[in-house]
């Protein structure tokens, strides 16, 4: 299994590195900005794909990467990690829906609360101790998620039925 990621300020990179280190003892993770990453994706079937939630969505740079390289995802088994400052949107579900369009199978989803990287939203501003605790909690959650994946029972955060058919949520409210 290899890791592919976009990380604006390092949180997501930290999380995917930790995940792969726990999973197979290596740091075989690759940023989407590197040219070689696409070739590495093509030669691997099992991937972890990680990104930070931005404005309740996938960062545009990652969406463009997925869409522009649509042929690369067919037949891949993908585990999604979404990092976030608080929570909004469907997290892993947003990327899952996009990847399924290109023939990928989504095997799991993990949401990790990490220090905020915007800094201009009052509710997300936290002190050093609180941020340190957040990172510690995320590390523990990663270890648990890796062991669940190894036991064939990966977490499915953001991948529930309501996340696969987001419009249904509105129907239920009517």
Ligand X SMILES: Cc1cc2nc3c(=O)[nH]c(=O)nc-3n(C[C@H](O)[C@H](O)[C@H](O)COP(=O)(O)O)c2cc1C
Interface contacts to ligand X, rule CB under 6 A: 7-12, 52-56, 83-88, 114, 116-118
Q: Please name which of 66, 45, 37, 50 lies closest in space to residue 1, comparing C-alpha atoms.
A: 45
Query: To the nearest whole angstrom, how small is the minimum distance from the Cβ of residue 81 to ligand X?
Result: 10
Q: Identify which of residues 134 and 149 has a Cβ nearer to ligand X in the complex.
A: 134
Query: To the nearest whole angstrom, how small is the minimum distance from the Cβ of residue 45 to ligand X?
Result: 25
Q: What proportions of the chain, in percent to the nearest 5, are helix, strand and coil?
A: 45, 20, 35
Q: Identify which of residues 7 and 29 has a Cβ nearer to ligand X in the complex.
A: 7
Q: Identify which of residues 42 and 87 has a Cβ nearer to ligand X in the complex.
A: 87
Query: To the nearest whole angstrom, how small is the minimum distance from the Cβ of residue 54 to ligand X?
Result: 4
The Cα–Cα gap between 108 and 130 comes to 28
Q: Identify which of residues 2 and 84 has a Cβ nearer to ligand X in the complex.
A: 84
Query: To the nearest whole angstrom, how small is the minimum distance from the Cβ of residue 28 to ligand X?
Result: 18
The Cα–Cα gap between 67 and 64 comes to 5
Query: To the nearest whole angstrom, how small is the minimum distance from the Cβ of residue 123 to ligand X?
Result: 10
Q: Identify which of residues 123 and 171 has a Cβ nearer to ligand X in the complex.
A: 123
Say how many C-beta atoms besides its own lie within 10 A of residue 2's C-beta.
20
Cβ within 8 Å of residue 137, ≥6 positions away: 113
For the sheet containing 46-52, what is the strand order? Answer: 29-31, 2-5, 46-52, 77-84, 105-113
């Amino acid at each position: 299994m290899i890791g592919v990621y976009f990380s604006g300020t390092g949180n997501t990179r930290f999380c995917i590195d930790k995940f792969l280190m726990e999973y197979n003892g290596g740091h075989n993770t690759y940023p989407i900005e590197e040219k070689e990453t696409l070739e590495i994706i093509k030669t691997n079937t099992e991937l972890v794909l990680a990104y930070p939630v931005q404005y309740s969505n996938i960062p545009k740079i990652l969406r463009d990467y997925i869409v522009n390289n649509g042929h690369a995802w067919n037949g891949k088994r993908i585990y999604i990690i979404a990092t976030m400052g608080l929570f909004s949107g469907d997290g892993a579900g947003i990327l899952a829906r996009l990847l399924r369009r290109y023939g990928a199978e989504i095997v799991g989803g993990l949401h990790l609360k990490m220090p905020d990287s915007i800094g201009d939203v009052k509710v997300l501003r936290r002190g050093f101790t609180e941020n340190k605790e957040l990172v510690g909690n995320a590390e523990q959650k990663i270890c648990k998620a890796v062991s669940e994946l190894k036991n064939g029972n990966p977490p499915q955060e953001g991948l529930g039925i309501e996340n696969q058919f987001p419009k249904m949520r509105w129907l239920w409210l009517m």
